[in-house]
Amino acid sequence: MGYLTTHVLDTSLGLPGEGIRIEVYRLEGGERQRITEVVTNDDGRCDAPILEGEAFTVGEYELVFHAGDYLRARGIEAEEPRFLDVIPLRFGVADAGQHYHVPLLLSPYSYSTYRGS
């Protein structure tokens, strides 16, 4: 069975993104259905897969990273409103039998993602 994981790296500090709240949604017919919420650990990862087994199906998903809260907690100053605050990442799962790893590389003024392994 496949599963979904993530990892956050603060590229401005070269450290894992610890304590970042992530909301998880499934998109169906233009509607967002909230599935769960997780928080990254001290390694910038979640302690268990975000979704797995019957909860992880073919379809479209969205991970919503609350980066602004993390940056404020780290004392990273910026003008309000912040350039980056809440970062939604939408992606598709074509084969629910595979591992989908969707990491976030974060700094106060940029982010990137990719399908990892």
List all residues 6 or more positions away from 47 whose beta carbon is below 8 Å from its beta carbon: 41
Residue 117 belongs to some domain of the structure: no
Residue 71 belongs to some domain of the structure: yes
Residue 18 belongs to some domain of the structure: yes
Q: What is the pLDDT along the chain (117 residues), one digit of tens a residue?
A: 899 999 999 999 999 999 999 999 999 998 999 999 999 999 999 999 999 999 999 999 999 999 999 999 998 888 889 999 999 999 999 999 999 999 999 999 999 999 998
What's this model's pTM, rounded to 2 decimal places? Answer: 0.95
* Structural domain span for residue 67: 3-109
Residue 116 belongs to some domain of the structure: no
* Count of structural domains, the chain: 1
pLDDT at 55: 96
User: Is 108 in contact with 71 (CB distance < 8 Å)?
Assistant: yes
CATH number of the CATH domain containing 10: 2.60.40.180
- Which residue ranges are tagged as binding site for substrate? 7, 45, 114
3 state DSSP class of 53: helix
Nearest partner of 9 among 110, 117, 78, judged by Cα: 110
- Which residue ranges are tagged as binding site? 7, 45, 114
